[in-house]
A and B are shown apart, each in its own frame.
Chain A
Amino acid sequence: MIRLLLILFYILIPFKSFALIEVDITRGNLNPLPIAVSPLSIDENSKKNFEKILKKKNIGEEISIIVENNLKTSGLFNPLNKDAFLQAPDIANLKPRFEDWNLIKAQALITGKVSFVEEKLRVEFRLWDVLAGKEMIALAFTTVPNNWRRVGHIITDKVYQRLTGEKGYFDTRIIYVAEEGPKTKRIKKLAIMDQDGANNKFLTLGNELVLTPRFNPSSQMVTYLSYFRNLPRVYLLDIETGMQEVVGDFPGMTFAPRFSPDGKKIIMSFAKDGNSDIYTMDLENRIVEKITNHPSIDTSPSYSPDGKFICFNSDRSGYQQIYVMKSNGSNVKRISFGKGLYGTPVWSPRGDLIAFTKLHKGKFYIGVMRTDGSGERLLTENFYQEAPSWSPNGRVLIFYRETKTDEKGEGFSAKLWSIDLTGYNERMVDTPTDASDPSWSSLLSN
């Protein structure tokens, strides 16, 4: 894990006033808010120092580009073209000439300043409501220069939170499976990257098949399935130290792992004699508990954020459907009743929805339903897609999609995609190789 070397202090947080702009994220946003991201100003001396350390000509500009990209990909904001900006960054940060920003139709404005202070990177930034002519946020923080990308993400998180009223999801990472090679002998590696695709890093070499990595919601630990020595087992990986260990001592395949919300347990399936049931293992005392006991396939378990319930996938009705039970395995209730097959239920971090994959008439859908199964809403349809994972604020889903091959069996690819909970803003997430099984981390800083 990147050490949290961020010292955050607030210059001033204005109280929420009524007249200021707000972005409504509860509906598909067809009119993204026009926002001007003025490059963070920087003095010549700091510029030179950062260029030496980070090999970036103008770190202020680079950070503002990260903010701009984040805002744009959220689908809620429309960052305006910098060529149209009339006011110089340093002056704008002191006191914006709101008429100028109004002229280019900006409703919100971000300004700021970067400086090199005692070998550290100091950033201050302000968010302005252009129409009201008021400051909405003013924040400053100091960190090691190498954290400069995270600075951009943290600024975005603060802006997003101020304008939407909900926490952001930009200072986060995504762990996934990087794929290469032909479809019949795919090489798969664990990989991790920042939410915007930067800092991609491979965590395994590809010597054995790896699948379904998932973050611990409260730390930078990961659980995943590895075919090490041809024994498919659930493993635990500490991203910081690279230490790995097998989870439990099961006489057969363990798979479909996830953490409990407090990060203290792993919930997974164990398959034996043609029957898969759900088990938990406490990571502290190593106690294993059998949660389901049914001759059908029970898999893909996911806890509710309060830890009281588990949703899972079972074919006890004859076909794959979604069920909810209490976390001790009692009160099993089927919740999916629509046409088709349902799989990969994942409980939203907000607690109110369950995301799933649905197969109906040869098409795959990513959708959401309430935790009692009502209000089913399909967000996207494709030839093949599955395995949604929630952004930590429960507003965006990331999943993977595979292409149909041609008559010769060629043209296969797998890519990560994200979509807003509203069903808008569907976009491909760039990865250096093909990719699948994404899992979104929680916010690295709060």
Chain B
Amino acid sequence: MKKLRIRNIDQGAIMKLNKILKNTFLVIVACLALSACATSKKSTGQMQGDVYTGTDTVEYLASGVPDRVFFATNESVLTTASRETLRKQAAWLRKNSDITIVLEGHADERGTREYNLALGERRANAAKDYLMTYGISSDRISVLSYGKERPVDSGSNPLAWSKNRRSVTVKAN
């Protein structure tokens, strides 16, 4: 628990930076992702079908509240695990009613740029709809698609692509 708390504080600091410089945030996320890969290497069982089930790239909005959900290739359907994550996010958002969020939708690199922009938007909206059914008002949520522009893993393999097909919930305030 203590360890997690410390991480949350770091997270808060990063979020503040985020306000000032979005790009800096992405650098840090990328570094975390890379170091995580380096230590855990390619372990098996990180994918179910082609949906990522590992935790290498996952950040936490609060203790026990993962910040992202993953998708199958070309899909925007939420998996059981994704729905569980989003329910945790909804509970956290209900407890912290002053927080607003941005849902950032992403696609992997195996698609054309323009279609991927639309697909990222569709994925983030799938997450938004689910949060709304758990009582989060739509005016606390904005949606931003990055298409394939901001991968978390630079690899050209199915595991890397599965980490990149995601919707990430980011604190906006």
User: Which residues does A use to contact B, with CB under 8 Å?
Assistant: 182-186, 209, 211-212, 225, 230, 232, 252-253, 255-256, 269, 271, 273-276, 297, 299-300, 313, 315, 319-320, 341, 343-344, 357, 359, 362, 383-384, 386-387, 402, 404-405, 407, 409-410, 412, 437
Contacts and interface: CB of A to CB of B under 8 A. Distances in A.
8 contacts: A182-B30, A184-B152, A230-B144, A232-B117, A253-B121, A297-B115, A299-B118, A404-B156
Q: Is the interface of A mostly helix, strand, loop or mixed?
A: mixed
Q: How large is the interface on B (under 10, 10 to 19, 20 to 34, 35 or more residues)?
A: 35 or more
A405 B26 CA distance: 20
A232 to B, nearest CB: 7
A359 B161 CA distance: 16
A253 B114 contact: no
A109 to B, nearest CB: 45
B112 A344 contact: yes
Contacts of B37: 409
Given A183-B154, A184-B26, A255-B117, A319 B74 contact: yes
Contact of A274 (B34, B126, B144, B160): B126
Interface in B112-156: 112-115, 117-119, 121-122, 124-126, 129, 143-145, 149-156
Given A230-B22, A405-B155, A253 B117 contact: yes
B27 A185 contact: yes
Given A186-B149, A409-B154, 15 more contacts: A185-B23, A185-B27, A185-B30, A212-B113, A274-B125, A297-B119, A297-B122, A300-B115, A315-B115, A343-B114, A343-B115, A359-B111, A387-B112, A405-B155, A437-B113
Contacts of B115: 297, 299-300, 313, 315, 320, 343
Given A185-B23, A230-B22, A274-B125, A387 B113 contact: yes
Given A185-B26, A269-B118, A405 B154 contact: yes
A343 B112 CA distance: 7
A412 B11 CA distance: 29
Contact of A384 (B110, B150, B152): B110
Contacts of A274: 76, 121-122, 124-126, 129
Contact of B33 (A184, A300, A341, A343): A184
A271 B152 contact: no
A184 B121 contact: no
B153 A409 contact: yes
A182 B26 CA distance: 11
Contacts of B119: 297
Interface string B91-113: 00000000000000000011111
A342 to B, nearest CB: 9
Nearest to B144: A230
B76 A256 contact: no
